[in-house]
Structure formats: C-alpha cells, structure tokens
A and B are shown apart, each in its own frame.
Chain A
C-alpha cells in the first residue's frame, strides 16, 4: 500500500469512527450505517482494503429470510473455532453497513487488531450480493431462501435469482457455496457455481405441512415449465420437490436435519447428519424456518473446516438477535418480539405462535417506510386465518395500522382489532391489556421493530442493541 493511500485509509477510518460516536450520542440509533457512508465518501474502496486484511477472508450470507439469525449463528460457530469474527451484528447489510463494521474493528490508526485471527461474517442484502462479492472476495457464500419481498424495491423474485446467478458465475472456483436443497430457487443456483457446493436440507418429513401456502413463489420448473410436485412441504415452496416434467429434483444434501423437535416453550432441537458425523443442537428459537437457519450456519462452519465440537459449542452460546425472536419480561408480562418482513416469513411466525398453547395477546405493527417496503399489499398474501379464533387481544399499530386491522378483521382471529397508530401508545396499551403472567406477542415490520426494541430496552432495562454481545 502506498503512503498516500495508507494515509487516506487512516483518515477515513478516523472520520468514520468519530461519526459513529456522534451519531450514537445524537440518538440516531446504533450508528451502524452512517459511519460507513462517511467512510465511503472519504475513501472509496475502504471496504476492499480493510477486507483484504482479514486473515481468514470472509463469509457472505444472503437470502430473503433468515440472514440475521444464520449470520449470528455462523459468527458464534466461528468464534468457538478460535476465529475473531468481524460481524455486522446490527443487521445493517448494505455495503455501507459492512464498511462501518469493518471500520469499527480497527484501532485508532486504522489498523485491524489481530488481523491473522480475523474472519468476516457478513449478512448481505439480496441486491447487494454482487457488489459485496466483488469487494470482499469471500471464501464461502451461503444462501438461505428466495421469496417475494418488497416487490417495489427488489423487483420480482426472478430478477433477484438472475442477479445472484451473475454474481456466482464471476466468483473464483476456490469458493464454496452453501445452498438450501429444499428451496428449488436456491438449489438451482448450483448450475451457476464454478467451485464446490454444499447442500443442506431437512429430511425429517414428520414436520411437514399438508399443502403449499399462498406465500409460495417457486411453483414452476424454470427448465420445462411444469408445476413442481411435493412429497413434503415445510413452508412456502420449501420442501421435498421434484419436477414431474423433466425430473429435476431436490439434490442430495450433505448436511441434513434427520430429526426436528419443536414443542411449546421448548427450544428447537435438531439432530443433524453431517460429513463430520452427527451433531445435536438445541436452540432458543421457535419455528421450523429456524431449523433451516441452523443448517445453513452449520454448512458455513463445515465449509470453513470447523470441527464438529466447535460447531456444538458455538451453537450452544447462541442467543437470538433483539427483535428477531427475543423473549423478555416487561412489567410482569413476557414479551416476545418477532420481526415480520414478508409473506413467507410472517406465515412462519404465525405458525409458530399458533403452535403455542392458550389464547394469544397480539400486537402487529405495520409500517410502509422504504426499509419496510412502500407497498403493503403483501399482508393479503399472509395466511392470518391460521390464527382464527385464537386471540383475546388484537392490536394494530404503525403507519398502516388501519390496513393491518382490516386484514386481521378478515381473518376472524378472535377479538375485534383495536387501532393505535403510535408505537409507544400501542405498546403501552398492549402491556396494560395483557393479563399479568401472560405472554404478549409483538410482531413488527423492520422500521417498527427499531422503535419497539428501543422502548422495550428502556422498559425492560436491557442494553440497546448496538451494545449487545
């Protein structure tokens, strides 16, 4: 590196660090994206130069749902294996968020501390994958699933798949790609991979649902146009699929969940069969979709050469990200906040909630900011009907509270929906109306979650998210 460029890097790093502190002080949130933006402006290519110093390179994790949970789990597994991960744990997954987290890992002189132990573990926005793959020269790239999400922002699912294929075709053949065999759109990416591919899947068909949900997106074989047939559907279009036309089928998986156990109030228990032997995991998460996140993370670990013991240890140290699936006690009520971003994800959340015993206290928050998607029509693709008659308390909040309330009215989920647009008032009301000792489910879209967790952190006396872990 030339002296000038080195100076520029140091200057960019310092500016970005100052910005992060100022942004936090001013209460702009975690200060996780703004410093990245500033660093980019000061020194274009900063991420490329910092990433090049990561001794063990980096892992990229992308897909519609499950990125954050998969990346956190992969980070824990890497830690247990002795790596010192650089990880965008706040979920800031555009290039500027990744840059910000690289900057945060440097010292005052702009040097990465202990570079030879460093491994980047980055969750990456679907549309950002090509840019991230080029800038960060990953060792492993993992894909979770592909569903419709914010059509006004990402475009149709076909165009997302096309962008991924292009990115994969440009990667060197030394890179391992980790793919979900049960999602036909993700499994099909194998054709575009130039190097080794590691497939993961759920083989325990006992947790299958009986019919394909309304949120399914890949119903037709891209090769011959016939509709896939399924011997088991786990969620959306994820399951044991085969094309009756051309015979394309779910590939054999390297990492398989041979047993999935879920019971109310108990963590998800998985028995995995892997090339490194059997691995049993127990995770503080609900919902079958999280079995897939665990499989993807274990796949990443195996692709990195992490031994089975370290995978067990890493997974055992896992806690859910705030707002993703966390339970906490606030004013004598157990509050479980679960993020909902799109039809497939929300269906899984609802399935998990409806599997729990008793009547439910529910608060849904629907915003339509850019980060949520301006178009809220997706709530009509969600099968809220599966909660029919189960709720004693239903509140709708957020900028599009009335739209949410109307959707809930149609689903006849029990109580008549109450509308309170303001997040704080809605949360206050929900806590007051939830009988003491009972659980309140809070289901927000992304920007609503940011507000919810700030409030709950204050009321539940828990550190704000950027100080987490």
Chain B
C-alpha cells in the first residue's frame, strides 16, 4: 500500500503525563510496517492548527498547572480549527486531560471553571479535593472485544445526548464511576477516553480502527494488512486477566 497520513500531536511537551508518547510510537510503527508514511507535527502553545493539513489529531493528559495554560491556548489558537477538522472527518483521539478539555467545560475542585472546546458534548466536574481519585487498571467492553488501560483522574465526566460512550466498564471506574460509561464518541471520528497506559500499543485493534478510518477518508482505501501482534495480544490478555482476578471471576 502506497499511502501517507499526517498527524498533529497537540502539546507533546505540556500534555505528556502518563506515557502518552506510546500512542504516537504505536501509530507510527503500525503505519510504517504497512508502508504507510506517517508524518507527525508537534503543535505547542501559540502554534495554529491548519484544519486541512491533518488526517489524525492526538492530545494527551497533563498536570493541573499545565492544564489551565493549555485550556486558554486551545480556545485562543486551536478551537475553531479543531471543530472544522472534526466536522470534516479528521480522526481525533484525546486522552485523560485532553479528553476533559475538549468537552464543554471542566469545573475544578477549587478555582474558576475552565471553558472547554466543546468537541465532545460532555462536561467534567471535580467533586472536591477530599473525594477519592479514580485510580487503577481498567477493562472496558468495546465493539465486541475489550480495551485495557490505567486511569487516574479526579474529575467525573458526564455525557450529554449529543455524545455516546466509547465503551462500557467491565472493571474500573470510567467516566464517573456511576453510569458504567467510559470515554466518549462524537460522530464516528472523535474519541475521548480516560485510558492511558499507553492505550494504543496494548489495544492494537483500536489503533487500527483509527488508522483505517483516517486512511479511508484520505485514500478511500481501508484494507490494513495484518501484523504480528502476539506480544500485543499477550499484554492485552494479561491486563484483562489481572482485572478479572481482582473481580474474582476466576474462582467460578
């Protein structure tokens, strides 16, 4: 397959809390092995986003201090372009803090509410510094299979009717620990999730889902040749196993 894809990595220096770089390494490798040339542009504070220049956009998570600066920069320099890109089918993946900031707003435990970009019809609130964070391994059901990762977030995210859950929680907390939902999908091409760890290397099916969608839009070709995913599948299966052990499934 002779094809190319272009990815915009938003704030790789500021939003890089939980090995988010692994997601980029994964996309790059899975493209490379199939002869797809993936170029990655890193966009930091102040850089403008050209909505027509990319097929994929990725954004990771950050510390609180950085999150506030990024929220301001997003609204000033990138919000409009993000909306345009997503409306035109560009594939977007936002993890943890990135997912929160691309919702409508984030209400912190203390201090001012942060206005979000509003890509996801969802909002997030932090219930207070004394309320426990959602920390731990996560397994969710996605498209007849599973996704695995780790979550660590104080904010609780709630979806409005315009968005639908990315997945349903099997083990862990997910969006808010109440309704069993994890992550969000807006349309068919914008994905938000709390799963880090890194997400994509251990969930190759999800990584290929993103690549295939981006390819289809740009080259109207979707056949992805299979790769040797033995190690990927093993890491995935063991993460599922650890979660099930915790739930006591294995005793039946």
Binding site for B on A (CB under 8 A): 148, 151-152, 156-158, 214, 219-220, 225, 227, 374-381, 399-400, 402-403, 405-407, 409-410, 417, 419
Q: Which residues of A contact B218 (CB under 8 A)?
A: none
B21 and A381 contacting across the interface, CB-CB below 8 Å:
yes
Out of B18, B25, B234, which one reaches A410, CB within 8 Å? B25
- Chain A residues contacting B50 (CB-CB under 8 Å) are none
Give the chain A neighbours of B22 by CB distance below 8 A: 377, 380, 407, 410
Q: Which residues of B contact A152 (CB under 8 A)?
A: 135, 152
Which A residues are CB-close (under 8 A) to B29? Answer: 410
Q: Chain B residues near A377: list those with CB within 8 A.
A: 18-19, 22, 150, 196-198
Given A151-B18, A152-B135, A377-B197 in contact, is the A417-B231 Cβ separation under 8 Å? yes
Give A174 Cβ to nearest chain B Cβ, in Å.
33
Q: How far is the CB of B148 from chain A (nearest CB, A)?
A: 10
Quick one: which of A157, A375, A380, A417 contacts B152, CB cutoff 8 A? A375
Task: Evaluate contact between B63 and A378: CB separation under 8 angstroms.
Answer: no
Which B residues touch A374, using CB under 8 A? Answer: 135-137, 150
| B231, A380: Cβ atoms closer than 8 Å | no
**Min CB–CB distance B48 → chain A (angstroms):** 19
Flag if B63 contacts A406 (CB, 8 Å). Answer: no
Q: Give chain A nearest CB distance to B97 CB in angstroms.
A: 11
Contact with B235, one of A151, A157, A403 (Cβ below 8 angstroms): A403
5 cross-chain pairs, A with B, having the tightest CB-CB distances, nearest first: A380-B19, A380-B22, A377-B19, A402-B235, A377-B18
Are A157 and B63 neighbours in the complex by a CB distance under 8 Å? yes
Q: Which residues of A sit under 8 angstroms from B202, Cβ to Cβ?
A: 403, 406
Pick from A152, A157, A374, A377 the residue with the most CB of B within 10 Å. A377
CB contact under 8 A between A158 and B64, given known A377-B19, A409-B231: yes
B252 at the interface (CB under 8 A from A): no
B65 pairs with A158, CB closer than 8 A: yes
Contact: B18 with A375, CB < 8 Å? yes
Q: How far is the CB of A221 from chain B (nearest CB, A)?
A: 12
Q: Counting CB contacts under 8 A, is B201 at the interface?
A: yes
Q: Is the CB of B201 within 8 A of A376?
A: no
Known: A152-B152, A377-B197. A405 touches B231 (CB 8 A): yes
Q: Does B69 count as interface, using CB distance less than 8 angstroms? A: yes
Say if the beta carbon of B238 comes within 8 Å of chain A. yes
By the criterion CB–CB under 8 Å, are B136 and A214 in contact?
A: no
Query: Number of B interface residues, CB 8 Å?
Result: 34
Instruction: State the CA gap A399–B241 with chains docked (Å).
Output: 11
> Which of chain B's residues has its CB closest to A416's CB?
B231
Question: Given the complex of chains A and B, what is the CA–CA distance between A399 and B238 in angstroms?
Answer: 9
Q: How far is B202's CA from A376's CA once the two chains are assembled, in angstroms?
A: 12
Does B38 lie at the interface of the complex (its beta carbon under 8 Å from any beta carbon of A)?
no
Residue contact A402 to B197, C-beta cutoff 8 Å: no
| Candidates B20, B152, B238, B242; contact of A151 at CB < 8 Å | B152
Q: Does B13 contact A (CB under 8 A)?
A: yes
29 contacts between A and B (CB under 8 A): A151-B17, A151-B152, A156-B63, A156-B64, A158-B63, A158-B65, A214-B16, A374-B150, A375-B135, A375-B152, A376-B197, A377-B19, A377-B22, A377-B197, A379-B19, A380-B20, A380-B21, A399-B242, A402-B231, A402-B235, A402-B238, A405-B235, A406-B201, A406-B232, A409-B231, A410-B25, A410-B26, A410-B29, A419-B231
* Chain A residues, Cβ within 8 Å of B63: 156-158
Shortest CB distance A146–B (Å): 13
Docked Cα-Cα span, A214 to B17, in Å, equals 11
Bits for B13-56, please: 1 = Cβ < 8 Å to A, else 0: 10011111110011001000000000000000000000000000
Residue of B nearest to A148 (CB): B17
A73 to B201, CA, bound (A): 41
Contact present for A402 and B234 (CB under 8 Å): yes
Within the assembled complex, what's the spacing in Å between the Cα atoms of A227 and B69?
13
Q: How far is the CB of A188 from chain B (nearest CB, A)?
A: 14
Across the interface, do A381 and B235 meet the contact criterion of CB distance under 8 Å?
A: no
Contacts beyond the supplied A151-B17, A377-B198, A379-B19: 13 A-B pairs with Cβ under 8 Å = A151-B18, A158-B63, A158-B65, A225-B69, A374-B150, A375-B150, A377-B18, A380-B21, A402-B231, A402-B234, A407-B22, A407-B201, A410-B22
A406-B25 contact, Cβ under 8 Å, with A214-B16, A375-B18, A379-B19: no
Bound Cα distance from A130 to B25, whole angstroms? 40
Taking the nearest CB of chain B, how far is it from the CB of A40, in angstroms? 25
Cα–Cα distance between A148 and B150 once the two chains are bound (Å): 17
Question: How far apart are A156's CB and chain B's nearest CB, in angstroms?
Answer: 4
Chain A nearest CB from B47 CB (Å) reads: 13
Nearest CB of chain A from residue B64's CB, rounded to whole Å: 7
Q: How far is the CB of B54 from chain A (nearest CB, A)?
A: 23
Residues of chain B with a CB closer than 8 A to A406's CB: 201-202, 231-232, 234-235
Q: How far is the CA of A436 from the CA of B64 in the complex (A)?
A: 51
Residue among A374, A379, A406 having the largest count of chain B Cβ atoms under 10 Å: A406
Q: CA separation between A152 and B134, bound complex, in Å?
A: 10
Among residues of B, the one whose C-beta sits closest to the C-beta of A151 is B152
Residues of A within 8 A of B19 (CB): 377-381
A443 to B69, CA, bound (A): 37
Interchain CA distance A377-B198 in the complex, whole Å: 6
State the CA gap A220–B66 with chains docked (Å): 9
Complex CA distance for A376 and B16, rounded to whole angstroms: 14
Bound-complex Cα distance A13 to B26 (A): 55
Chain B residues positioned under 8 Å from A409 (CB to CB): 231
A158 to B18, CA, bound (A): 15
Inside 8 A of A400's CB, which chain B residues have their CB?
238
The distance from the CB of A407 to the nearest CB of chain B, in whole angstroms, is 8
Task: Please give the distance in Å from B150's CB to the nearest CB on chain A.
Answer: 5
The chain B residue with its CB closest to the CB of A214 is B21
Complex Cα–Cα for A377 and B197 (A): 4
Report Cα–Cα, A225/B46, bound state, in Å. Answer: 13
For A152, give the chain B residue with the smallest CB separation.
B135
User: Could you tell me the distance between the alpha carbons of A405 and B25 in the complex, rounded to whole angstroms?
Assistant: 15
Q: Which residue on B lies nearest to A383, using beta carbons?
A: B21
Assembly CA distance A381 to B239 (angstroms): 19
Interchain CB contact (< 8 A) of B150 among A157, A214, A376, A381: A376
Give, as a whole number of angstroms, the nearest-CB distance from A395 to chain B. 13
Question: In the complex, what residue of chain B is closest to A405 when comparing beta carbons?
Answer: B231
Distance A282 CA – B136 CA, assembled complex (angstroms): 44
Contact residues in A for B150 (Cβ distance below 8 Å): 374-377
